């Protein structure tokens, strides 16, 4: 059910994609018509205090920047190392998860990018001597420690050096790298977010092949390590599960999930949109987005009451009644 209509921002790029047309009775073909090329796949929005929105185009290996008042985004960084999730740290540096999917040739590392000079500094690129799988998403605590997920969604796993699709925590200077979650509870970690009191870590588990599509809450100790038993907040069932997420200033969780067209190994039970959960896991609202697949979201605007949503080839926005939470920038 659509509780509140979202407002459309701008189609940032003039792009098109081929979509599956569905199975039909035919004497000529024996399979569905499926996509052979994807021109853009937006992810990882991050808001800069100058009013710009940075986000990734994984398929085309670049980071885009939508300047204040602009109708079309420009290219901030190309190649991007197949950057996926983005987030600004407390000092205004852009932290990027460089993956290795949607065409390969990715960095498979966590980097810090100066938004002015575009200089990249590698924070960490391996765990115990093995390269990461395909870094996906991240969150940052007040001490500057970075929590990131490292799943792998592509079918060819021959290049993987790690047997675990895990969740990691690392200091901002790359020291004290720890795997805080393995695959015992979370099969394939994706979106990740930390509460303002830094006592809870939320992780999206989205593995369509198991299948397991759940939203988990993990207690954290003062060192940023998982402690105690996990709490299952929501099971997305047989529909497309969660992806990226963010939080508002009162602790509600905004999880991008669902799809408006059929994808392999999932049905259409979950409409495409942003699923808003209370800290206790109660589904408060679904902000529907008229796009095939919703990937991530972040808060922005001078008052932090604009929710930016990446979805397929489009960046969307909707105004919210409650301000979002971010380390940087703060609401004015």
Q: What is the CATH number of domain 7-16+37-319?
A: 2.120.10.30
Cβ atoms of 156 and 148 closer than 8 Å: no
The model carries a pTM of: 0.88
Confidence of residue 110 (pLDDT cuts 50, 70, 90): very high
Higher pLDDT pick, 153 / 31: 153
Distance (Å, whole) CA 215 – CA 11: 30
For the cut 60, the answer to whether the pLDDT of residue 159 exceeds it is yes
CA 325 to chain CA centroid, nearest Å:
16
- The two structure tokens encoding residue 309: 């949503």
pLDDT at 1: 33
CB 308 within 8 A of CB 12: no
Average pLDDT score over residue span 39-47:
87
d(CA 107, CA 118): 16
Q: Residue 331: which pLDDT band, with cuts at 50, 70 and 90?
A: confident
| Distance from C-alpha of 283 to C-alpha of 278, rounded to nearest angstrom | 7
Q: Which of 63-67, 89-93, 287-291 has the lowest mean pLDDT?
A: 287-291
Cα 103 from Cα 60, distance rounded (Å): 9
- Identify the band that residue 332 occupies on the pLDDT scale cut at 50, 70 and 90: low
* 217-242 mean pLDDT: 95
- Cα distances (angstroms) measured from residue 277 to each of 71, 202, 217, 236: 32, 11, 12, 13
Q: Give the pLDDT score at 134.
A: 97
Contacts 24+ apart (CB under 8 A), 1-4: 1/286, 2/273, 2/286, 2/288, 3/285, 3/286, 3/287, 4/285, 4/287, 4/318
Please determine, for residue 244, whether its predicted confidence score (pLDDT) is greater than 80. yes
Q: What is the C-alpha to C-alpha distance for residues 41 and 3, in angstroms, rounded to an integer?
A: 27
Using an 8 Å Cβ cutoff, are 94 and 42 in contact? no
pLDDT exceeds 70 at position 22: no
In this predicted structure, what is the pLDDT of residue 102?
Answer: 77
pLDDT per residue as tens digits for the range 269-299: 999 999 999 999 999 999 999 888 899 999 9
CA dist 293 and 282 (Å) reads 23
Q: What is the pLDDT of residue 40?
A: 77
Q: Where are the domains of the chain?
A: 7-16+37-319
């Amino acid at each position: 059910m659509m509780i509140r209509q979202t407002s459309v921002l701008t189609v940032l790029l003039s792009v098109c994609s081929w979509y599956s047309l569905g199975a039909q009775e035919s004497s000529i073909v024996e399979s569905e018509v499926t996509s052979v090329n994807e021109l853009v796949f937006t992810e990882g929005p991050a808001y800069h205090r100058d009013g710009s929105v940075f986000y990734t185009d994984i398929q085309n290996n670049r980071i885009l920047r939508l300047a204040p008042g602009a109708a079309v985004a420009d290219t901030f960084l190309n190649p991007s190392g197949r950057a996926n999730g983005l987030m600004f740290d407390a000092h205004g540096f852009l932290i990027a998860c460089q993956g290795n999917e949607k065409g390969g040739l990715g960095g498979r590392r966590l980097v810090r990018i100066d938004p002015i000079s575009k200089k990249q500094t590698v924070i960490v690129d391996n765990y115990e001597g093995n390269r990461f799988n395909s870094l996906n998403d991240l969150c940052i605590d007040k001490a500057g420690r970075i929590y990131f997920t490292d799943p792998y969604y592509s079918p060819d796993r021959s290049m993987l050096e790690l047997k675990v699709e895990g969740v990691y925590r690392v200091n901002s200077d790359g020291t004290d790298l720890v795997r805080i979650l393995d695959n015992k509870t979370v099969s394939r970690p994706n979106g990740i977010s930390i509460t303002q009191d830094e006592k809870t870590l939320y992780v999206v588990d989205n593995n369509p092949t198991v299948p397991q599509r759940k939203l988990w809450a993990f207690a954290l100790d003062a060192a940023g390590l998982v402690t105690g038993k996990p709490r299952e907040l929501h099971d997305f069932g047989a529909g497309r599960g969660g992806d990226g997420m963010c939080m508002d200033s009162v602790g509600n969780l905004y999880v991008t999930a669902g799809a408006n067209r059929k994808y392999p190994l999932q049905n259409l039970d979950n409409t495409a949109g942003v699923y808003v959960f209370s800290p206790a896991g109660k589904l408060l609202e679904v902000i529907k987005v008229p796009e095939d697949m919703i990937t991530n979201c972040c808060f922005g605007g001078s008052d932090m009451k604009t929710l930016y949503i990446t979805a397929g080839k489009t960046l969307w926005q909707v105004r919210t009644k409650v301000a979002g939470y971010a380390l940087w920038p703060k609401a004015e």
